[in-house]
């Protein structure tokens, strides 16, 4: 049965505010799952199972699949489609409030676009070893952007500090029901062995990008004594992720020393 048939059968009305545009083309789901290269030993987390098109393809790999879905009205569809797969666990809860996500899992999701930023931060916090996520095309460009590009900013730096990023492929809006107003991109994120205090790091990155066209000197005004001898004449958007982490470490160590 097709996704649209399931929606009709259960009389489900889609909720725009939850980003409910569902994959209607299961070839895309198959392509995503193929790229994930899963084995039965893997633990996969899906954020936003929707009508289960991607979930079912994930289930077929034999991996343990934990699928989060905030909207319980989709439960009858998901149960009908997935009850034959004992390796799938459905969790009807808000992923942003999730309490027990297994560490070292792989996230494979077509995420709700309105909360992409928050979800990317959660992906970092839960230390997924890999994340293959479909995002709005323009957001994908920001995630993948290199220094000097217009799209390089807070999101690029935060994600690229923790993950090697790679574009997999674009997905046309025609592959969804209903057709969204935007195209999509699937990105592949591979965890780097980085250990940083994420809360503090986010604060620092927000600060240096606060006024994007201004120099570091301008954005770091309250902390200039920490950076004596450092060239602050560039803008944050010109710095590599490694250079930003180096500045952050200087800032963090100085603040820790000053607190004694």
Task: Give Dmax over CA atoms of the chain in angstroms.
Answer: 68
State the nearest-atom distance from the C-beta of 95 to ligand SAM, in Å.
4
User: For residues 47 and 208, which CB has a smaller minimum distance to ligand SAM in the complex?
Assistant: 47
Residue ranges in contact with ligand SAM by CB under 6 A = 18-23, 47-51, 53-54, 68-71, 94-96, 110, 112
Q: Are strands 88-91 and 64-68 parallel, antiparallel or unpaired?
A: parallel
Between residues 27 and 203, which has the closer beta carbon with respect to ligand SAM?
27
Please check if 23 is assigned to a binding site: yes
Is 110 labelled a binding residue?
A: yes
Smaller CB separation from ligand SAM, 108 or 239: 108
Q: How far is the CB of 88 from ligand SAM (least distance, A)?
A: 13
> Is 255 marked within a binding site?
no
Task: Name the closest residue to ligand SAM (Cβ).
Answer: 48
In angstroms and rounded to an integer, the radius of gyration of the C-alpha atoms of the chain is 20
**Which residue's CB is nearer to ligand SAM, number 21 or number 145?**
21
Q: Least distance from C-beta 25 to ligand SAM, angstroms?
A: 10
Identity of the residue, 49 or 65, whose beta carbon is nearer to ligand SAM in the bound complex: 49
94 in a labelled binding site: yes
Q: Which helix (H) or strand (E) holds 259?
A: helix 241-259
Long-range CB pairs of 136-142 (<8 Å, 24+ gap) are 136/182, 136/183, 136/184, 136/185, 137/170, 137/182, 137/183, 137/184, 137/185, 138/182, 139/113, 139/185, 140/167, 140/184, 140/185, 140/186, 140/187, 141/185
Length of the chain: 260
- 69 assigned ligand-binding residue: yes
Contacting residues for 51 by C-beta, under 8 A, at least 6 apart: 3, 6, 7, 12, 22, 74, 77, 78, 81
Is the distance from CB of 123 to CB of 97 less than 8 angstroms?
no
Minimum CB separation of residue 14 from ligand SAM in Å reads 8
Feature table: binding site for S-adenosyl-L-methionine: 23, 48, 69, 94, 110
Feature table: binding site: 23, 48, 69, 94, 110
């Amino acid at each position: 049965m097709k996704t649209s048939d399931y929606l009709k059968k259960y009389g489900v009305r889609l909720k725009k505010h939850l980003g409910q545009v569902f994959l209607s083309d299961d070839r895309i789901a198959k392509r995503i799952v193929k790229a994930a290269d899963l084995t039965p030993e893997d633990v996969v987390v899906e954020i936003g199972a929707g009508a289960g098109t991607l979930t079912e393809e994930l289930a077929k790999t034999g991996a343990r699949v934990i699928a989060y879905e905030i909207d319980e009205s989709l439960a009858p569809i998901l149960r009908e489609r997935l009850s034959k797969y004992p390796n799938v666990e459905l969790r009807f809860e808000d992923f942003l409030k999730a309490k027990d996500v297994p560490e070292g899992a792989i996230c494979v999701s077509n995420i709700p676009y309105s909360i992409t930023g928050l979800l990317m931060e959660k992906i970092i916090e839960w230390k997924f070893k890999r994340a293959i996520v479909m995002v709005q095309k323009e957001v994908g460009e920001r995630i993948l952007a290199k220094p000097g590009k217009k799209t390089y900013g807070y999101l690029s730096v935060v994600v690229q500090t923790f993950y090697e990023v790679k574009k997999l492929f674009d997905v046309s809006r025609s592959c969804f029901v209903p057709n969204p107003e935007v195209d999509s991109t699937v990105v592949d994120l591979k965890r780097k062995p980085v250990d940083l205090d994420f809360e503090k790091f986010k604060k620092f990155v927000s600060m240096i990008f606060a006024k994007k066209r201004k120099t570091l000197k301008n954005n770091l005004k309250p902390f200039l004594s920490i950076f004596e001898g450092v060239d602050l004449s560039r803008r944050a958007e010109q710095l590599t992720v490694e250079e930003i982490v180096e500045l952050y470490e200087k800032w963090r160590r100085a603040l820790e020393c000053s607190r004694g």
